[in-house]
Chain A
Amino acid sequence: QSALTQPPSASGSPGQSVTISCTGTSSDVGGYKYVSWYQQHPGKAPKLLIYEVSKRPSGVPDRFSGSKSGNTASLTVSGLQAEDEADYYCCSHAGRSNVFGTGTKVTVL
């Protein structure tokens, strides 16, 4: 149950796009469709952005999109806005458990 690997940081200017990777193994990311992404602002609970690799809950802007290839999942935030500055975590099902990523801090320049 090792944490999934994410880059520690990512950044972009308003209006630009940023893509965050989430690398696991065939026992988690590569083996299941249950990959999700969460946004967490300081002092707040996480918020679900993407589930089942690429599905968006109602209310989440379509600026947020998810994909997966092999053992790596990705979250793309298009048209960056100031309020997108936050920590982002991926999560994958892994059999009888689940595992989160190491987290990525996104900075809007």
Chain B
Amino acid sequence: EVQLVESGGGVVRPGGSLRLSCAASGFTLDDYGMTWVRQAPGKGLEWVSGITSNGGGTGYADSVRGRFTISRDNAKNSLFLLMNSLRGEDTALYYCARGITGRYDHWGQGTLVTVSS
């Protein structure tokens, strides 16, 4: 069974940093591109970042480019999102999803990031 489990969320002050992790199981991670999607409370889905299966290609939403870095460790079946210079508008539930060109066929349950002073 495919499983994606996010962790690393929490409360952080504006300007702070967090590193999210996504543990993958039930499939071979290095066969798939992976993606982070977020959802602010009561709002819609927002694509955040994607990474190719071998990590050689990455993409970012304009709203996070230069502040967030996506990476992966296929040997450890893990996906990461390093978030720096966090702002109030980054407050959201962050999902990791399997896929990269919009075919996000499996999702985790999300990890909540709250940016507040």
Query: Chain A residues in contact with chain B, CB under 8 A?
Result: 1, 3, 34-36, 38, 40, 45-48, 51-52, 57, 87, 89, 91-93, 96-103
Q: In the assembly, what is the distance between CA of A87 and CA of B45, in Å?
A: 10
Interface residues on B, range: 20 to 34
Residues of chain A within 8 A of B37, CB atoms compared: 46, 100
In the complex with contacts A45-B109, A103-B45, A97-B59 CB distance below 8 A:
yes
- Nearest 5 Cβ contacts at the A-B interface: A45-B107, A103-B44, A51-B103, A36-B102, A96-B59
Nearest CB of A to B92, in Å: 13
Contact residues of B: prevailing secondary structure = loop
Please tell me which one of the listed residues A3, A34, A45 contacts residue B102 in the complex, with CB atoms under 8 A apart: A34
Query: Chain B residues in contact with chain A, CB under 8 A?
Result: 35, 37, 44-47, 50, 59-63, 95, 101-105, 107-110
